[in-house]
Structure 1
Amino acid sequence: MRMDLNADAGESFGSWKLGNDEELFKYVTSANLACGFHAGDPLTLYKSVRLCKQLGVAVGAHPGFPDLRGFGRREMAATPGEVYTDVLYQLGALSAFLRVEGLPLHHVKAHGALYNLAAKDAATAKAIAQAVHDFDPGLPVVVLPSTPLEAEALALGLRVVREAFPERGYAPDGRLAARGTPGSLIHDPEEAARRAVRIVLAGELEAVDGSLIRLEAQTLCIHGDNPNAPQIARRIRQALEAEGIEIRAF
């Protein structure tokens, strides 16, 4: 059995530093790099790509809403056309640095409020999927299972990679619990590792209300802005490898 560990990363901006990507990237196998809209800047993007190359981490794009102040976690009233062009723009930005470093773009995963909106709104989901398809129809799209984004990506013939979150709480409907609500964030590495093993081996997890939800995942996400992200990633990797699971990029 194999499993990818991905990290949302490259989210510093100017002199403002967020996360510890240098340590985190030692334990993950793919990274979703901010492309300058919700976080990141050209120099951060360049350094992040070079760090991924140095450590053998597959590079994915992490397009979000143009909302630096809100870190891309505030839903915006964007038209499908705006979503399409914003995603396309961000894929192009990252691809410039990948081209210089001789690396391929490995996948695409929407960020924050854009990811959550595509999990419930078909028009937004279609715009994201269309942008990825038009940029490169061979690019995989990381999705929350059983959502409009998964359906729209599959309709266009894109490969989907289903994602689960061992350090985030789930609502009973299988979507992520809203940040700020009880149980929505997990900072304990041991708890995150326990949840990761259960997701991978049993395909299930407790929602924040105690109910049981089914989860199918080919990749597990660790948020780089979690203050314990490197410790969580290390402990999850150790726990999965102890169960005989091979950790590698999808």
Structure 2
Amino acid sequence: MYRIDLNSDLGESFGAYKIGNDEAVLESVSSANVACGFHAGDPLVMLKTVRAAKAKGVQIGAHPGHPDLMGFGRRVMNCTPDEVYAYTLYQVGALQAVCKAEGLSLQHVKPHGALYNQAAKDPELAYAIACAVKDAGENLILLGLANSSFEEAAAKAKVLFASEAFADRAYEKDGSLVSRKKEGAVIHDAELAARRVVQMVKDGTVEAIDGTLIKLKPHSICLHGDTPEAVEMAKTIRSTLEKEGITISPIKEVILK
């Protein structure tokens, strides 16, 4: 039997600025990555998002990023491993407190944006994040890019690792994500994205932007919550997976099955 988690990056509104339709996306996913205030989100948004996820029975993960509100955490920053460790621990701790107040526990930690992409290729940054995940306690799962530095870092830090693939992002032939500065980096066709996800889950492959076939074994599929078609994308992918006989479960159930 095939089983996969569907996750989405949520809680990315800030103050008076609203991003995405979190309530609608939560209808389709099994795990939510909640922004922790550095790249997006604020204390009130964090609380509202955790409560909304709780109401839908969706598991919660921390989504720490670079301290870059102006750039939405998508600008590369030259942070040291010590800084990355501290930033990650700080943000995870903030969301842990919100979850505790709501009678919940965090399930996982998934870095955001540039921090995610940098650490996927930089073993030292990946290890700094993995150590923060371990030191935060609660047996948290590190969610990171499949076939990247995250997997080895998690093993070294002795934390559980879940590999992630992306429904709505294009891949380079080396398995990294295509830069958002390039045309075709983001997939907007929900039906195409759904077909790609089925291929990832059942065949363990995905086609790169140049046609190369990449091998990967994801535990979780990311659906971005800040794109205009996020709600349609989430609904289409979930319904397609269910029609294909693929069970949708939270990350911890997928990796511990």
TM-score band w.r.t. shorter chain:
over 0.9
Matched with 1:115 is 116
- State how far apart, in whole Å, the 2-side matches of 1:43 and 1:143 are: 27
Q: Cα deviations across residues 87-113 of structure 1 (Å, max 9, x unaligned)? A: 010011101110110001010000000
Q: Cα deviations across residues 21-69 of structure 1 (Å, max 9, x unaligned)? A: 0100000000000000000000100000000010011000000000000
Please give the secondary structure, in 2, of the residue aligned with 1:119.
helix
Runs of 4+ in 1 over 3 A off after TM superposition: none
Letter matched to residue 77 of structure 1: N
- State how far apart, in whole Å, the 1-side matches of 2:138 and 2:8 are: 23
Indicate yes or no: 2:138 matched with 1:128.
Answer: no
Q: Cα deviations across residues 187-207 of structure 1 (Å, max 9, x unaligned)? A: 111111111111111111111
Please give the secondary structure, in 1, of the residue aligned with 2:121.
coil
Percent identical: 53
Please give the secondary structure, in 1, of the residue aligned with 2:5.
strand
Matched with 2:213 is 212
Displacement, 1:166? 1.4
Consecutive unaligned residues in structure 2, runs of 5 or more: 252-257
1:187 and 1:228 in contact (8 A); partners too: yes
Displacement, 1:163? 0.5
Indicate yes or no: 2:100 matched with 1:91.
Answer: no
2:147 and 2:216 in contact (8 A); partners too: no
Matched with 2:160 is 159
Equivalent residues in 2 for 1:164-243, closer than 5 Å: 164-243=165-244
Letter matched to residue 227 of structure 2: N
TM-score, with structure 2 as normaliser: 0.95
- State how far apart, in whole Å, the 1-side matches of 2:13 and 2:143 are: 22
- State how far apart, in whole Å, the 1-side matches of 2:45 and 2:117 are: 25
Letter matched to residue 55 of structure 2: Q
Letter matched to residue 49 of structure 1: V
Letter matched to residue 160 of structure 2: R
Of residues 237-246 and 148-157 in structure 1, the stretch that sits farther from structure 2 once superposed is: 148-157
1:204 and 1:213 in contact (8 A); partners too: yes
Matched with 2:143 is 142
1:182 and 1:208 in contact (8 A); partners too: no
- State how far apart, in whole Å, the 2-side matches of 1:111 and 1:168 are: 14
Displacement, 1:248? 1.2
Indicate yes or no: 2:77 matched with 1:69.
Answer: no
- The Cα RMSD (Å) is 0.9
1:137 and 1:158 in contact (8 A); partners too: no
- Paired residues in the alignment total 250
- State how far apart, in whole Å, the 1-side matches of 2:114 and 2:137 are: 24
Displacement, 1:180? 2.6
2:106 and 2:138 in contact (8 A); partners too: no
- State how far apart, in whole Å, the 2-side matches of 1:119 and 1:242 are: 33
Matched with 1:22 is 23
